Structure 1
C-alpha cells in the first residue's frame, strides 16, 4: 500500500530517509537538518513536495518523495521523483513499480513530464526505470550550492 505521510509518521520518515542517505544509492549523505526541512515543507503544504510511505502488511518498508516544478521545455508541470527507498528485505516485490504507477495515476491530469535522477552505478534502479518507460537524457546537470552545510 502507498499512502501520504501524516504527522504521526515523523519518526519512521526520519528513520527511512536516514537509511536512504546512508546507502549506496546516493553520492553523499546529507545533514539531518535537510531531512527535517523537507519534513516541515511536506507538513506545510503540497505546493512543492509530497511524501509517501510504502507499506507491506501495514508495516512501513519504504518511502517516496516527489516534487513539482514547471518547465517551458516540457510545456507544463513536471513531477520529479526525488527519492524512492525500499528496505532491502522488501526489494524485488514490485513495490517500486507500484510506486511509479501510483505517481502516474496521482498526477496524470496535471503534468507534462515525469523525471528522476539515478546514480550511474545503480544498475538495478536504472533497469527498473527503463522497463517502465523512462529514458536517459543527454543533459549534464550542474549545481551551485547555496547552503554549504553537508
Structure 2
C-alpha cells in the first residue's frame, strides 16, 4: 500500500476539478471560472503544467500541478508546485511528505533545476513540511498582476 503519482487523463477532468475546488476553497481563494478552465486544460495535457493524481492503491486521494518556467537566475528551467492537495481524510498519516517527494521526483524527471512553491502565511504545518523537505525561504515577496 504505497502512494503513487500518475498523470491525470482528460477523462478524469471532473475528478480533478472537484478536488481543485475543494483545495482553493480551503485556502480561501475560490476557484474562478478562468481557474476552472485552466484545470480542464491541464487535465487535457497542457505541456507547461503536468498534473498528477496521488493514488493510494487505486483510490485518488489528492493531486499536484507542476508548472514549467525558465529563469536565468535559476540556471534555466525552473518549476513551481502550483497546487498540492490531499483530501482531508488522508492527512496526518505522513502522506503529505510522500506526496511532496513524488512531486520533487516528477520535477527532476521533467528537467526542472529549481523548484518553487508558495504557502499561505497561516499554514505553518505545510511550511514546516516544505522546510523539512529542503525548501528554503527566499526572503522575497511574491506579487501578482492579472492581465
| RMSD (Å) for aligned C-alpha atoms | 1.6
Give the Cα separation in 1 of the matches to 2:43 and 2:10: 10
Alignment correspondent of 1:12: 15
Aligned ranges for residues 38-49 of structure 1 at < 5 Å?
A: 38-46=39-47, 48-49=48-49
Instruction: Give ranges in structure 1 of 5+ residues lacking alignment.
Output: none
Map 1:47-66 to 2 at 5 A. Answer: 48-66=48-66
Deviation of 1:140 (Å): 1.4
Give the SS at the match of 2:141: coil
User: Unaligned 5+ residue runs, structure 2?
Assistant: none
1:41 positional shift: 4.1
Does 92-101 or 59-68 show the bigger shift? 92-101
Q: Which residue of 2 aligns with 1:122?
A: 123
Partner of 1:136: 137
Q: 1:41 to 1:10 in 2, by over 3 A?
A: closer
Q: TM-score, normalised by structure 2?
A: 0.88
Cα distance in 1 for partners of 2:38, 2:75 equals: 30
Alignment length (residue pairs): 143
